[in-house]
Structure 1
Amino acid sequence: MSCFLRPATLDDLGPLYELAKLTGGGFTNLPPDRKSLRAKLERSAAALARETDKHVDDLFVMVLENSETGQVRGTCQIFTMVGQHWPFYSYRIGTLTQFSKELNRTFRADMLTLSTDLEGASEVGGLFLHPRERAGGLGMLLARSRYLFMKAHRGRFSSRTLAELRGVIDEAGGSPFWDGLAGRFFGMSFQEADEFNAVKGNQFIADLMPKHPIYIDMLPESARHVIAMPHPSGRAAMRMLEHEGFSHDKYIDIFDGGPTMVAHTDQIRSIREAVESRVARIGEVTGERRLATAGRLAAWRAAYAQIETLANGEIAIDSAGAKLLGIAEGDTVMHVERA
């Protein structure tokens, strides 16, 4: 496998734009808009240029590159703390219990309440893999490498990490959740609102979204049915997040109703289990295939590599993996079990 993950540069604007056009909508972090993508790349470059691991509002954009062709085949993003530039809105699912003495009955109603509870958390998002590359573990490489980047630069990230999964989108590119709730207040389609949010931010949500709780039973069946459900293409991503220790904690996306997954950063499996080892030898090895990363900031790389743990705790790594990571003997590698 000849792909490796690296921080994006401004030269990746064209390939990222081409990937964004393939998403089919609902990917707020990867809009098919060159100006927005350029702003993301510039913001990422500024974060990579700062050497100190200070916890501020940063964004890191990564790209998956085929080392043989130089083509960009996927991308992902990491936000160090959301809700700093503009509010980070979610709907929180809650229950209101009321008792009628006259009827001798208890009534329970599920409700959606507009919330900024997750403000300040780190976020992993913007993950998209070219449709022709969805095999061979490349999706897992994109997803899990982000956590090793976080561990290598731990001081830049929050104690809590979230991941928003795209909700159900119909064949026409619309959202049953949006149509049944927010669309009634905004006079625009889901696609229009999603594109506006990706380019201009979500202050319009604060301006126009009703502030009072919404009774779920008052929504049309089409909207109720998709609450907290991931898009079919995101079910595997949800399983990967759950495997890493994320859980759905009753928060959903305000646009499409998709689930928001949350985890304590230090308890994310890849972060908890990853180890650092000195490379004693590069060449033929008999060890297992592992996810490995090396370097810092702009020089950071991630790839699969064959790694053998030696008696003294150091490692031997295969030549192909070492080449993808850009390392030499004596360098340090962070690695974790692939599965």
Structure 2
Amino acid sequence: MTFRIRAATDADLQHLYEMAKLTGGGFTNLPPDRRSLKAKLDRSHTAFARTEGPVIDELFVLVLENTRTGEVRGTCQLFTQVGEQHPFYSYRLGTLTQHSRELGRTFRAEMLTLTTDLEGSSEVGGLFLHPGERAGGLGLLLARSRYLFIAAHRPRFADRILAELRGVIDEAGGSPFWDGLAGRFFGMNFQDADQFNAINGHQFIADLMPKHPIYTAMLSDGARAAIGLPHPSGRAAMRMLEHEGFRYEGYLDIFDGGPTMTARTDQVTSVRGAAEARVVAIDGMNDGGGDDELVASGRLAAFRCAFGRVREVADGVLLSPDCAAALGVEAGDSVMRVGRW
């Protein structure tokens, strides 16, 4: 296995910038702006350097590295507590039921309500895999490595966790949801608003967004149709989140209407299933034994994660040589592992 997950460093800035230019818009956590990306790396360095303490608003940036070439081919992020420094806004889709006795009719109206219900949650986001690497399960490695990181650093994360999926973006790079709702109040197209948010934060939403509920019947057909739908490229990510135990409970991204998935952190499949074990020996398992798993080692900036072949023995596990090399572990070291789907 020539790929591993590791902590991002300043040397990765150019790689991150080049990947950010490939996202196609609507990817707030990976803006094609060097200054913003450098600020993310600085926040991440600070988080990796803090060894203990309570849950606070921190950001960890991880990257997918080809250990043979040294190239960075993907990235993902973990936010430990959203909404601490600035309000974390979502729309909540709900229903208002009203009954008219005179007409003998009941009316049910869908409404979008601006809310900060999810403040204080942790977030997994910023996942991007280079288009040239979308094979071999590397997206799975990127996504699930975050849960092994959480399991290894559980006190640093909240009891609830969320994931925002990018919503529907049209061929011109616009958002039908934004055009039908928020764009009418901000006088900005989606691309400009999305870029401004990625670089400057979303306090402008608190300043300008109307606080009263929005009846969906008043929106355009295109805006209504986009509510709660992921971007076509995000459907696999949504299925992966559902497999991990995340659910869509009516929360939407306020920019593009994409679904926000939520779960209890300790009930996330890969967090709950993660187990620590001692490496008894590095073994090629030429007899075909063992299972394919995700394996992680190290803490904070020393964290590494890779696919590997693992076999349980009486006092620990045998680990395949390629995985041991990617993680930098030897016999006697401890690793955290979870089964590969």
TM range (shorter): over 0.9
Is the 1:278–1:330 contact (alpha carbons within 8 Å) kept by the matching residues of 2? yes
* Superposition deviation, residue 84 in structure 1: 1.0
Specify the alignment match of 1:246 in structure 2.
246
277-286 vs 154-163, greater mean Cα deviation: 277-286
Is the 1:53–1:153 contact (alpha carbons within 8 Å) kept by the matching residues of 2? no
Correspondence list, 1:64-143, <5 A:
64-143=64-143
Correspondence list, 1:294-313, <5 A:
294-312=297-315
Specify the alignment match of 2:340 in structure 1.
338
1:152-190 superposed Cα distances (whole Å, 9 cap, x missing partner): 000000000000000000011000000000000111100
Correspondence list, 1:245-324, <5 A:
245-285=245-285, 286-312=289-315, 314-324=316-326
Correspondence list, 1:189-228, <5 A:
189-228=189-228
* Superposition deviation, residue 283 in structure 1: 2.2
Secondary structure in structure 1 of the residue aligned to 2:15: helix
Aligned residues: 338
- Partners in 1 of 2:284 and 2:176 — Cα distance? 54
* Superposition deviation, residue 54 in structure 1: 2.7
* Superposition deviation, residue 311 in structure 1: 2.5
Secondary structure in structure 2 of the residue aligned to 1:28: coil
- Partners in 2 of 1:176 and 1:330 — Cα distance? 55
1:51-88 superposed Cα distances (whole Å, 9 cap, x missing partner): 11531111000000000000000000000000012110
Is the 1:226–1:257 contact (alpha carbons within 8 Å) kept by the matching residues of 2? yes
Is the 1:53–1:154 contact (alpha carbons within 8 Å) kept by the matching residues of 2? no
* Superposition deviation, residue 210 in structure 1: 0.9
Secondary structure in structure 2 of the residue aligned to 1:222: helix
Letter in 1 for 2:4: F
Specify the alignment match of 1:166 in structure 2.
166
- Partners in 2 of 1:217 and 1:239 — Cα distance? 29
Gaps of 5+ in 2: none
- Partners in 1 of 2:108 and 2:137 — Cα distance? 44
The sequence identity of aligned pairs, in percent, is 66
Instruction: Give the structure-1-normalised TM-score.
Output: 0.99
- Partners in 1 of 2:324 and 2:53 — Cα distance? 26
Letter in 1 for 2:337: H
- Partners in 1 of 2:221 and 2:130 — Cα distance? 33
- Partners in 2 of 1:329 and 1:85 — Cα distance? 44
1:93-145 superposed Cα distances (whole Å, 9 cap, x missing partner): 01101111111111110000000000000000000000010110000000001
Letter in 2 for 1:333: V
1:278-310 superposed Cα distances (whole Å, 9 cap, x missing partner): 000002122111001000001000000110100
Instruction: Give the structure-2-normalised TM-score.
Output: 0.98
- Partners in 1 of 2:305 and 2:319 — Cα distance? 14
Gaps of 5+ in 1: none
- Partners in 2 of 1:53 and 1:62 — Cα distance? 21
Letter in 2 for 1:290: E
Specify the alignment match of 1:36 in structure 2.
36
Runs of 4+ in 1 over 2 A off after TM superposition: none
46-55 vs 174-183, greater mean Cα deviation: 46-55
